Chain A
Amino acid sequence: MNNVLEIKNLKKAFGDFKAVDGVSFNVEDGKFFSILGPSGCGKTTLLRMIAGFLKPTSGNLLINGKDMLGVSPNERPVNLVFQNLALFPMMDVGENVAFGLKRKNIPKNEIKERVSSMLQRVQLSGYERKKISQLSGGQKQRVAIARSLVLEPAILLLDEPLGALDLKLREQMKIELKKLQNEIGTTFIYITHDQSEALVMSDRVAVMNAGQFEQIDTPVNLYANPKTSFVAGFVGETNKFEAKKEDNTSVSTKDNISFKSIFIDKDITDNCHLFVRPEAIALMPKDDIEGMNYFNLKVKTILFDGSNTKILATINDGSREISVSLPQNREFAHIKEGEIVKAAVHKNDCKCYKIQL
């Protein structure tokens, strides 16, 4: 597989503020690549540099092996789907999709053909004469994607395009986008702060924080083996404890509860962060399993959410509330608030990281 996008040590500073601080990565052709990060982490700045709207302070940016520095947005083989979609309100759907093709001086009947086949791809065939204001949120979304894809870009950039949709539609569009990318085979670079969007759709995800990439990995690895404290805390739900190292195999939390655990950062000497996923905690476990931490949970609250039901509980008589997932088979549906439940977590699921500023 060849790399459609290569970025080497890319930096962008606004005055003293380093929005993007030395980012390097490659994207393979035909992949769905996501950049996941909290707002203000520099992901939009990075995307705008790829699209050509911002000039990097330093670093290299190659698309299909060609240096893109100094190439203006209208001459780059990438297209951007804007956060607010930016569909032209004075044009109808067909004119919006044809806009880019007309700029390329393609014959009229060919434009018409390509527009209608593109609209068919996004399940909007026959919508050419509709006005933008007549479309629903999801339809607008698809028109915006069609408008960019019809130009057959090497890379399609998407800047949180699902942000404005309501939850149900967002779930649906996630799947549609993934399918569309599979069918068309264009490389997608998708920007989001929503970890579920990134995990569901992507082949690879880069987690970005404070202008830098923390980890680039597959969604599975990102969730199972986060490399840094930030990734462990940002991707997926987790319980975070402030802890102190006891010896090479265990830490103790502020409530003086000792956990056998593994140290991801090898250079931890004293204070660290301990992360335990809610679903890693087993309720009413078998006794005496090698490597297990056993403790009692005092149930404080039950948060019912269908298949995603959790309980909030304290460990023994500690003050720190943690969340624990309930298995979906309703095995523990009898648990009530105030009960004390035996629980355990394996040491491999107790991961310690050094404290990140």
Chain B
Amino acid sequence: MNRHIKLGFFIFFVPVILWLFLLIVLPQIDLLLMSLKFENDAGKMVWSFANYSSFFTQKVYWLTFARTAIYAIIVTFLTFVVTFPMAFYITKVVNPKYKGFLTILILMPFWVSELVRVYGWMILLRESGVINYFLLKLGITHQPIEMLYNDASMIMGLVYTSMLFMLVPILSSLDGMDDSYIEAAHDLGASKFIIFMKIVIPYAAPGIVSGSIVVFMLTLGDYLTPNLMGGKNSLWFTEQIYNQFIESFNWNQGAAFGFLLLLISSLIIWIGLKISKQNLAKALS
């Protein structure tokens, strides 16, 4: 009996441990060690915080990071603004018959890889793209407009990419909400706006928080969309990391940037949770 439990324990537990340790913990430790090494003037590798301090001393690095973080916050907020009415419509307004159908309709584009979706947007938006073709045909413009490679199109692309990760948790938290809460608030004299602010949003708060955390992290760590839709001047922090690893061959600096990204983004999420008075465990459960 006891041996059976032990056997089962090993069968299920060992792969998990191996996976975590070999593929995640070990490389991370290696990267951490790497980030703490610095080539001194004599060309020797020494232990040093120089890789980290260069982030703070070189303006371009931390400005890029600040820009990335602020844009990621904006993207998270915009994603929330776009998806919340959708989630509310699907769960509370539309006939329950169509709930599943509408959810699938939203999920469907996400069965295609991010790369393909971004190329789809590029086909629509580029100078010789579909939208410009119609604008020219209809005589609205006489010169094709470059709609790619600016911050607005990059943000739009990022919002589109992240929508699903915001929608699903909000959908599930609103789904559990009894309609009678809305009716009760209405009965007690609340206007529609107050019901939304005081009842619906607080009720969905755990879903909003977990969606926001996922969207923020994904956006901050996204490489594809900023690079393809924002172009070379998108100045996304992941591009800095990429440059360090691939173009400068400075793995030590790249590793340090990677850890800084992890630490500072965790810090931002912690501050966000404190401000919204939410609990991480509750939001992710």
Closest to A75 in B: B189
Would you call A299 an interface residue if the criterion is a C-beta within 8 Å of the partner chain's C-beta atoms? no
Would you call B186 an interface residue if the criterion is a C-beta within 8 Å of the partner chain's C-beta atoms? yes
Closest to B188 in A: A100
In the complex, are the beta carbons of B181 and A88 less than 8 A apart?
yes
Known: A82-B180, A84-B180, A86-B178. A74 touches B191 (CB 8 A): yes
Known: A73-B183, A82-B180, A86-B180. A148 touches B205 (CB 8 A): no
Q: Min CB distance, B184 to chain A, in Å?
A: 4
**Residues of chain A lying within 8 A (CB to CB) of residue B86:** none
**Residues of chain A lying within 8 A (CB to CB) of residue B198:** 99
Known: A86-B178, A90-B202, A90-B205. A80 touches B184 (CB 8 A): yes
Q: Is the interface of B mostly helix, strand, loop or mixed?
A: helix
Would you call B41 an interface residue if the criterion is a C-beta within 8 Å of the partner chain's C-beta atoms? no
Would you call B36 an interface residue if the criterion is a C-beta within 8 Å of the partner chain's C-beta atoms? no
Would you call A151 an interface residue if the criterion is a C-beta within 8 Å of the partner chain's C-beta atoms? yes
Q: Min CB distance, A186 to chain B, in Å?
A: 15
In the complex, are the beta carbons of B180 and A74 less than 8 A apart?
no
**Residues of chain B lying within 8 A (CB to CB) of residue A80:** 183-184, 187
Would you call A12 an interface residue if the criterion is a C-beta within 8 Å of the partner chain's C-beta atoms? no
Would you call B199 an interface residue if the criterion is a C-beta within 8 Å of the partner chain's C-beta atoms? yes
In the complex, are the beta carbons of A53 and B188 less than 8 A apart?
no
1/0 per residue, CB under 8 A from B, across A63-81: the answer is: 0000000001111000110
One of B188, B202, B203, B205 near A74 (C-beta < 8 A): B188
**Residues of chain A lying within 8 A (CB to CB) of residue B189:** 74-75, 100, 103-104, 151
In the complex, are the beta carbons of A86 and B190 less than 8 A apart?
no
Q: Min CB distance, B135 to chain A, in Å?
A: 45
1/0 per residue, CB under 8 A from A, across B8-51: the answer is: 00000000000000000000000000000000000000000000
Would you call B185 an interface residue if the criterion is a C-beta within 8 Å of the partner chain's C-beta atoms? yes
In the complex, are the beta carbons of A51 and B187 less than 8 A apart?
yes
In the complex, are the beta carbons of A53 and B190 less than 8 A apart?
no
In the bound complex, CA of A124 to CA of B59 (Å): 61
In the complex, are the beta carbons of A103 and B194 less than 8 A apart?
yes
One of B188, B190, B202 near A79 (C-beta < 8 A): B188
In the complex, are the beta carbons of B203 and A90 less than 8 A apart?
yes
Q: Min CB distance, A26 to chain B, in Å?
A: 23
Q: Min CB distance, A92 to chain B, in Å?
A: 12
Could you jot down 13 A-B contacts, CB within 8 Å? A51-B187, A52-B187, A53-B187, A74-B188, A74-B189, A74-B191, A82-B180, A86-B180, A90-B205, A99-B188, A99-B198, A103-B191, A151-B189
Closest 3 CB pairs of A and B: A100-B188, A86-B184, A86-B180
Listed in ascending order, the chain A residues whose CB lies under 8 Å from chain B are: 51-53, 72-75, 79-80, 82-84, 86, 88-90, 99-100, 103-104, 147-148, 151
